[in-house]
Amino acid sequence: MSRTLALDVGDRRIGVAVSDALGIIAQGLTTLHRTALKDDLVTLSALVAEHDIDRIVVGWPLGLDGRDTPQTRKVGRFVEALERRLRLPVERWDERMTTVIAERALIEGRVRRADRKQLVDKVAATLILQSWLDARPPARHAD
């Protein structure tokens, strides 16, 4: 079965999470440090191939009022490039507050500040993917 990849796209890092084959559980995969767009897309292409990905969910950074922000437009340009490169369905998913929730979870888990910086994007991607998975109807399996 194929899996879903989720991305929390920032200016400096991209948090990456992947679903299990049944599409039930999200798991943090990695944090990519951004370089050039072309290089970022090559790295993501390799992850897609390695993990048998059939769709991508990208955190959509709306403002708290639900409106687009400058970051929304940046992520939109990234999504367009991603779609052209990978030729997979890419779904935008509201990510409001996921980074804040991820940061709080890491603090509550007593993760050191220096370590949190490296983990927060991957945790945010995991939260994005899990909320997307939870919002989908359960998959039907042949008995």
Mean pLDDT along residues 126-134: 93
Beta pairing partners, 55: 4
- Comparison of pLDDT for 140 and 93, the residue scoring more: 93
What is the pLDDT at residue 120? 80
The number of residues in the chain equals 143
CA 44 – CA 136 distance, rounded (Å) = 24
CA separation for the pair 127, 102 (Å, rounded)? 8
- Residue 139 contacts by C-beta under 8 Å, 6 or more apart in sequence? 22, 23
Query: What architecture is domain 3-135?
Result: 2-Layer Sandwich (3.30)
Give the mean model confidence (pLDDT) for residues 114-137: 85
| Model confidence pLDDT, tens digit, residues 7-17 | 999 999 999 99
- Asked if residue 10 lies in contact with residue 121, where contact means CB atoms within 8 angstroms, the answer is yes
Mean per-residue pLDDT for 110-128?
A: 82
Task: Kindly list the domain boundaries of the chain, sorted by start residue.
Answer: 3-135
Confidence tier at 96 by pLDDT (50, 70, 90): confident
Ranking 35-49, 72-86, 122-136 by mean pLDDT, the lowest is 122-136
Say whether pLDDT at 48 is over 80: yes
Which has the higher per-residue pLDDT, 103 or 127? 127
Which has the closest alpha carbon to 43: 33, 28, 57?
33
How far, in Å, CA of 56 to CA of 88, rounded?
7
- The yes-or-no verdict on residue 113 having pLDDT over 90 is no
Helix axis angle, 98-108 relative to 113-135, nearest 10°? 130
DSSP helix/strand/coil, 137 = coil
Q: What is the pLDDT of residue 105?
A: 76
